[in-house]
Structure 1
Amino acid sequence: MQSIRIKQVDEVKISRYILKYTFEDWYSLVDSDVVVVGAGPSGLATAYFTAKAGLKTVVFERRLSFGGGIGGGAMNFHKIVIESPADELLREWKVKLVEAEEGVFIVDAAEFMAKLGAAAIDAGAKVIHGINVDDVIFRDKPLRVAGVAVEWTSTQMSGLHVDPLFVSAKAVVDATGHDAEILSVASRKIPELGIVIPGEKSAYSEVAEELVVNNAGKVAEGLYTTGMAVCEVKSLPRMGPIFGAMVLSGKKVAEDIINDLRNS
């Protein structure tokens, strides 16, 4: 086998390229159309559809990977359940499906995560890992959520006090899952928004899937919710390792945002 010649790049160039192109991205994304908080199934589905519609979309994920609860599946088993009509979206993302019974499909968790993430990025969404959203921006004339405050997750984990950077958005989406972190911050710090978070109920999978999809949407002006965060704010049952409602609620929220922004 012939020896392989690799392009030589010194350390200073490596650093300069990373800094140059990173800051070009940040310079643009601080003024976005849509900020999605959480790169789980509902957040990535939202980002896929808003970016596909031409909206400048950024997803902030506090961890260094995407997929949210997909990877953990049920008790760390690597297969999850998708039901009709969510299978139509997975087919669009080229995820392989095994039909367990009519309208019920089994998918590989890693493939689902990878292809959903790739679909969102290919549609034009920017996904930034290692970012924690710890506050929102608001305006009072009229009263609305107008963006987010972000910090490095590693900075917060270290316990250092560092002020955040601000990112404006016409729509902020809470896709943080069971904790509904953005809704919680907004309800506590901006009581005028009237957000109440009673918390999710125990499992009732048969009804929870439809309830999550149909209740996903706008919570306050400029603030939307999708996925398991919907259960928190609407006091809906949880459903476990079945993910149809996650992606369908993301699609619904994206459609709501697209319509709202076009009509604003």
Structure 2
Amino acid sequence: MQTINIKQVDEIKISKYILKYTFEDWNNIIDSDVVIVGAGPSGMTAAYFLAKEGLKTVVFERRLSFGGGIGGGAMNFHKIVIESPADEVLKELNIKLQKAEEGIYIVDSAEFMAKLGASAIDAGAKIIHGINVDDVIFREDPLRVAGVAVEWTSTQMSGLHVDPLFISAKAVVDATGHDAEILSVASRKIPELGISIPGEKSAYSEIAEELVVNNAGKVAPGLYTTGMAVCEIKALPRMGPIFGAMVLSGKKVAEDIINDLHNS
């Protein structure tokens, strides 16, 4: 039987290397071009297109995994529906599609999550897990959102009072899904932004997909939204386990941010 020799690394080196390279990352991301809150389908799609364009992009996800609502599929079934033209984005990311009928495709949820996350990372985006964004930074003259305040999710779950770290950004994207957490904070704490959140309506998939895509984008200076958070702020119907709008709204918000930053 062949003996496998493994490089010996003592405990101090393990800790030292983790800390050294972690803080190198944090020192880089504290001044970002774009902060995306939520590593679901729309957030990761946006991250892919933003990073591909060369913008310094970081995604903060409160859980220790990514994918948002993808993994749950429809009532924990592992298949989801993607419709045209979102299939073109998935083909770009090398995600396999099964054709159900013309313009409608079935996707494996695990493959969708894995390849979408890997594509965003390969494009240059940074995804940090276990981080909760609980506030935004704002500036006056002109009034705008200028970054976020972050804490460890575990710290908040423990009920400890710990002050956050601040991350600056030219654009902040709420991709938190049904709760629209960042929009809610901004509407409550910065009323001057004029944000109101009426909440989403019940299911009407036939029209909701297109409405979500077309309404994704800027909410206030420096603040954008994508995915299900769009339903919250625009009072749009929900749509269930069909994810074309999640992908296309992520692409649209990325295109809007790229255009705004290039023209600023």
Q: Same fold (TM over 0.5)?
A: yes
What does 1:30-109 align with in structure 2 at a 5 Å threshold?
A: 30-109=30-109
Unaligned runs of 5+ in 2: none
1:128 partnered with 2:113:
no
Provide the residue aligned with 1:263 in structure 2.
263
Say which SS state the counterpart of residue 31 (structure 2) adopts.
coil
What does 1:104-123 align with in structure 2 at a 5 Å threshold?
A: 104-123=104-123
Shift of 1:253: 0.2
Normalised to the residue count of structure 2, the TM-score between the two structures is 1.00
1:139 partnered with 2:139:
yes
What does 1:140-179 align with in structure 2 at a 5 Å threshold?
A: 140-179=140-179
Shift of 1:141: 1.1
CA displacement, residues 71-92 of structure 1 (integer Å, 9 cap, x when unaligned): 0011000000000000000001
Shift of 1:143: 0.2
Provide the residue aligned with 1:220 in structure 2.
220
In structure 1, distance between residues paired with 2:126 and 2:171: 15
CA displacement, residues 207-234 of structure 1 (integer Å, 9 cap, x when unaligned): 0000000000000000000000000000
User: Which amino acid is 2:202 matched to?
Assistant: S
In structure 2, distance between residues paired with 1:107 and 1:5: 41
* Identity level (%): 87
Shift of 1:3: 1.0
Normalised to the residue count of structure 1, the TM-score between the two structures is 1.00
Provide the residue aligned with 2:11 in structure 1.
11
In structure 1, distance between residues paired with 2:97 and 2:258: 29
1:186 partnered with 2:165:
no
CA displacement, residues 157-193 of structure 1 (integer Å, 9 cap, x when unaligned): 0000000000000000000000000000000000000
Unaligned runs of 5+ in 1: none
Say which SS state the counterpart of residue 207 (structure 2) adopts.
helix
User: Which amino acid is 1:205 matched to?
Assistant: S
Say which SS state the counterpart of residue 142 (structure 1) adopts.
coil
CA RMSD of superposed structures (Å): 0.3
Aligned residues: 264
